[in-house]
Structure 1
Amino acid sequence: MTMTPEQASWFEGTFTRLVDNVDRALMGKREVVGLVLAAMLAEGHVLLEDAPGTGKTSLAKALAATVQGTSSRIQFTPDLLPSDVTGVTIYDQQAHRFEFHRGPVFASIVLADEINRASPKTQSALLEVMEESRVTVDGVPHEVGRPFLVIATQNPIEQAGTYKLPEAQLDRFLVKTSIGYPDLAVAERILAGAADRNPSAHLPAIITTGAVADMADLAATVHVEPAVLRYTAQLAEATRADASVNLGVSVRGSLALIRIAKVWAAAQGRHFVTPDDIKALVRPVWTHRIVLDPEAEFSGTTAEAVIARTLESVAAPQARAAA
């Protein structure tokens, strides 16, 4: 079944209300909020590369409050163990059985703060749950439920004592973006409300977690023309053929772009994806998936430049007219 124009109109209205609500706590960052919300509805995860104090925790709490969900924050450190993230099985002497004690990853919105400060072994504890929305401990799978969004952060300034995220783990993140600092007018509004240390606590819930799951299912029914699918595949192939690239966009990256493009189209009130949706999302979805040749990187080439060349070299199909 394909999404109808009426359903697309409802989706747009609900999406706008969700962004408006989160914007009350994270002022002046509607574009970032919309992108993170789209990633959640596409059932993906977000990597934020940002300096401390830009509102990452506020974003996670505001999202959780808006969808009537739960939130947790994991501070990644070198001594953090995988069981500190996923949970552990403990033997109950009175009941004479093993019981699973859930870790902080069992929440609707999980903030993995400074993920690159933990060891690769601990980082890998997130791989299964990010891909399959479940945790397996002692051979027993435990579902984390829907919605489930991991917002991982890393500081682009401080690199001492950190472990670079491997390409396989970077590929698990649907979107990489940053919040950034507010402009002067918004900063003044934030300072005026400095007495309220937790603005997310006063946010009303807009929808339930069950309704979020329904929105995700509805977004998956947005129509994508074969020409748009071909365009996406050609863009991915062009990144792999670029002389400055050692590792281009994978099939998972192409699928991720189509998934979030469906949500993005519905958020604009359309029941079909256009080439402009692909162009709007290709940078946040693909930049972190491209591994540059060391010599090209040393000479100043960036992943953003590769994507810009790719968009110029691949002709976009004609956009479909609204039905």
Structure 2
Amino acid sequence: MRVSVPAAIGVAALLTLSIDVAVIAGEWNQAQYVDLEVSDEVAHVPEEAETITVAPLKRRYTPHLLIAGAKPLPEDAAAAVRKVKGVKVAEVVDGARTQVAGRQVGLLGVDPSSFRNLAPKESAKLDGLWRNVAGGDVVISFTGPELGTVVKAGATSMGASARIGAVAPIGVPGVQAIVSRDQAKRLGLATGNAMVVSAPDTDLKKLGAKLKKVLPKGVKVTVLPRQVSGAVQVAGTARSPLTGTAGCTPHMQAVRNELDATFGPFPVIGCMRPGDPQDHGLGQATDYMLSSGGRMPTNAWMAVGDRTANYAISNWQRLGVKYVIWRQHIWNPSVCKCWRLMGDRGSITQNHFDHVHISVH
């Protein structure tokens, strides 16, 4: 599934983002959250499994200004913003008015390792929350969608989705959802068209006027209301141990997260495999393991494999599935929307009896 930036999100909607901030912030109603008890128990992770990591919290800063334009901000303009006296932090983000779980929201694509320094302390301190963002989840500040469920997000025409990784205060009034910048591309957001600025002990109106002088014409600068805090609920990070996360495409990550949230945990899910001449080498394939050591899975695990494969083919257009291999059969819609027997490759693993292989475009 090729991703393009829809005009409705990348241009027209972004023009209203800065204006909407003042309106929406005035209507901000802090939701009632229920504290979530997080267990310290961790499932067994194979030695080769990788975990998603984010940089630790350094120093927290309060967001004071939102800069937003319809197009990517030039690098020299972003650099000029950072040099203006009074600016302490100026974080480049992707921004748009779009939908998450059927609700129109202000959505930002962020670098979880650095943007956490601009979040309220309740959210900023939780590594699990930011790991979820890095893994492709969406964090929302409103109630309704169930934690850990997969919801539609971004342009409806693109059929994209994301897992609810946390319900938490985001700290930028008018913005009700954040995703990673990789996920933002998949959801159709314009790239690098906004900045969140922290400028403590500064006359913000005067600073805003100075910033407009170094920014392209038409870019809006809005003073943000006071940051809102609140309680946090965080979904578990990836249910299954992961291998080959580095290099796994944002599209593949999102599909992996949806299948993991729906059918996991699996013994392990593998993605990127350097040197592989096909989709694993491109980060566009995942293997959902059902056993280890090349052994035949139990009947229960075979049933999980059946459900996983059937889900992928039932939703192949929405998920952008290229093909599925399972039980020595291949389902490739470009050839036939049917299961076709493959030749005997000589082992349980090579014949795909111990894992479901899913490739995406």
TM-score, scaled relative to structure 2: 0.24
Q: Which has the larger radius of gyration?
A: 2
Larger proportion of strand: 2
Q: More helix per residue: 1 or 2?
A: 1
Please, what TM-score do these two structures have when normalized by structure 1?
0.25
Higher relative contact order (CA 8 A, sep 6+): 1
